[in-house]
Structure 1
Amino acid sequence: MLDWEQEQLDRMVSNIFGYHALQIGLPQLDALRENRMSCRALVLDGASAASAPYVAPLAPGGSHHGAAHAAPNAGRIDTSAAPSLHAPAGRSTIWCDHLDLPFEAQSVDLIVMPHTLEFTSDPHRLLREAERVLMPEGQLVIVGFNSLSLWGARQSAGKLTGRPFLPARQDLIAFTRLKDWIKLLGFELERGRFGCYRPPLSTDKWLGRYGFMEAAGDRWWAIFGAVYMITAIKRVRGMRLVGPLKVKKPVLAPSLKAAATTPSPTRNKDS
């Protein structure tokens, strides 16, 4: 799954340009590896870093400095939590509250959230924060587990027995539901991609036997992939200045006149 997501992210972010890019959560993926923006940062939640099941260390070499025009109250960043987690060399690692991002409004060109909505306590608020810090025409990339899939079905069954299949703080978000959320925030869905159609098996032997389902699922039942990846663009409606308005005099419609009638010839009384 991580290999598929890394491949898709490399392809998706390579042609997105700007100055500031953020990856929020999931340090196992280097979501901005192929992106060419000058300022790229990994944003991690310091409050849940010690207990999050998906956190794993990356190659050291990052620094604990803010990026993308840190707001005046950026002192909320906590650099003491889990200091072994760093962004790749040449990028910044920012520890903060995901629900209160320490960035100015309209200061970021790209935000990538790999499975971040499933590990936050308030997905709606996190999306509102992403909308706030994104610049007009900025792009938002979201990766998540699809509840309408075989993996989602096993997750639902596992919750009934107390043994969930996928680690998540919140319920899995269906693709159609997420589309409604981002549409309400003024985003325009640009494209979407599904993957991982094999059954939720844990051995390489059985996963290999069901490898044919990847190509078949991508063609015949695409919306039932276990993982989805979408790209949305922030649209901001504005006014267009056209100069002083020239008032044109109304043109009066020509008045209608009765057509002249020809008198009918009178008959001769003698005839």
Structure 2
Amino acid sequence: MSILRLEEWLQTPQGRYLLDWEQSVLDQCLADLFGYYAVQVGLPGIDLLRANRMPQRVRCCATDAGADVLAQPHALPLASGSVDLVVLPHVLEFSPHAHTILREVERVLVPEGSVIVTGLNPLSLWGLRRMMARAGAESPWRGRYRTVMQIRDWLGLLGFEIQHNAFGCYAPPLRNPRWRCLDRAGARWWPVLGAGYMVHGVKRVQGMRLITPHWRGRKASTKRLSPVAQRDGSTRTLL
């Protein structure tokens, strides 16, 4: 699926419902992340980094649609260990290179750098709608939705520590906005069944171990105490 088609769908009332929730949770999360370089991969026409205060914010995409850097998400033209933050909005579910993309993100991130993944939850009413869609369906009812557990497992294997995840958008995928009143009930009673999710992971690097030389010398034996006679008849000990 073309990223541009997804962007177009996100401007529809139904897409805006999802995008507004994602932008809200991203704003809360990104406001507290600091560094120098932040990269948004995909959806270049939408500024998902708006709440972040890093001085260098770059949007990367494979198409020339407002992107600052033209590149495939699984082959980022960035130096290893040079980026403090990477945001992946709906990239993994619509790419055949999901594992490679995450490995590439791990490569470019500095130690303690953050990755934030947003996506559509297959364990939701929207996931059910996708299963009922015909081949060649329009956005966003195509691609491969990933569960939060999958994302957490993949990040864990790459050495990321999950900070938190969030779910939202519990209304069914209908155009009528009256069903959005279910958001409050869903967040309370079936929180993991939201249509959208966000996962925040931090790259952890194991500390170096100091290797000391192997000393083969024996322990110094305790020196024997030798009594020495004094002129006055007393004795004292010498080492």
Q: 2:66 aligns with which of 86, 97, 115?
A: 86
**In structure 1, distance between residues paired with 2:27 and 2:51:** 5
Q: 2:104 aligns with which of 122, 129, 133?
A: 129
Q: 1:119 touches 1:168 (CA, 8 Å); kept in 2?
A: no
Displacement, 1:228?
0.3
**In structure 2, distance between residues paired with 1:144 and 1:39:** 25
**Secondary structure of 1:139 counterpart:** strand
Q: 2:120 aligns with which of 136, 145, 151?
A: 145
Work out whether 1:212 is the aligned partner of 2:181: yes
**In structure 2, distance between residues paired with 1:35 and 1:211:** 28
2:196 equivalent in structure 1:
227
Work out whether 1:197 is the aligned partner of 2:182: no
- Residues 175-202 of structure 1, C-alpha deviation per residue, up to 9 Å, x if partnerless? 1111111111111110010000000102
Q: 1:239 aligns with which of 204, 208, 215?
A: 208
**In structure 2, distance between residues paired with 1:2 and 1:37:** 22
Against the structure 1 CA distance between its residues 207 and 163, is the aligned structure 2 distance closer, same or farther, given a 3 Å change threshold?
farther
Q: 2:136 touches 2:142 (CA, 8 Å); kept in 1?
A: no
Provide structure 2 residue ranges, at least 5 long, that are not aligned to the other structure.
1-17, 220-239
- Residues 59-115 of structure 1, C-alpha deviation per residue, up to 9 Å, x if partnerless? xxxxxxxxxxxxxxxxxxxxxxx3xx226xxxxx10112211111111100000110
Greater percentage in strand:
2
**In structure 1, distance between residues paired with 2:72 and 2:161:** 26
**In structure 2, distance between residues paired with 1:28 and 1:150:** 27
Q: 1:26 aligns with which of 29, 33, 43?
A: 43
Task: Report the TM-score when normalising by structure 1.
Answer: 0.69
- Residues 126-153 of structure 1, C-alpha deviation per residue, up to 9 Å, x if partnerless? 0100000001110000000000000001
**Secondary structure of 1:29 counterpart:** coil
Q: 2:130 touches 2:141 (CA, 8 Å); kept in 1?
A: no
**In structure 2, distance between residues paired with 1:240 and 1:38:** 34
**In structure 2, distance between residues paired with 1:28 and 1:104:** 24
**In structure 1, distance between residues paired with 2:122 and 2:61:** 25
**Secondary structure of 2:94 counterpart:** coil
Displacement, 1:40?
0.8
**In structure 1, distance between residues paired with 2:159 and 2:218:** 37
2:9 equivalent in structure 1:
none
Against the structure 1 CA distance between its residues 163 and 100, is the aligned structure 2 distance closer, same or farther, given a 3 Å change threshold?
closer
Work out whether 1:37 is the aligned partner of 2:7: no
Displacement, 1:238?
2.1
**Secondary structure of 1:5 counterpart:** helix
Displacement, 1:29?
2.9
Matched residue type, 2:27: D
**In structure 2, distance between residues paired with 1:102 and 1:144:** 24
- Residues 198-251 of structure 1, C-alpha deviation per residue, up to 9 Å, x if partnerless? 00102xxx322x2221011111111100000010000111225498899996xx
Against the structure 1 CA distance between its residues 26 and 101, is the aligned structure 2 distance closer, same or farther, given a 3 Å change threshold?
same
Matched residue type, 1:138: G
Query: How much identity, in percent, do the aligned residues show?
Result: 44
**In structure 2, distance between residues paired with 1:175 and 1:166:** 21
Provide structure 1 residue ranges, at least 5 long, that are not aligned to the other structure.
50-81, 88-92, 250-271
1:179 equivalent in structure 2:
152
Q: How many residues align?
A: 201
**Secondary structure of 1:15 counterpart:** coil
- Residues 31-58 of structure 1, C-alpha deviation per residue, up to 9 Å, x if partnerless? 110111111100011xxx3xxxxxxxxx
Greater percentage in helix:
2
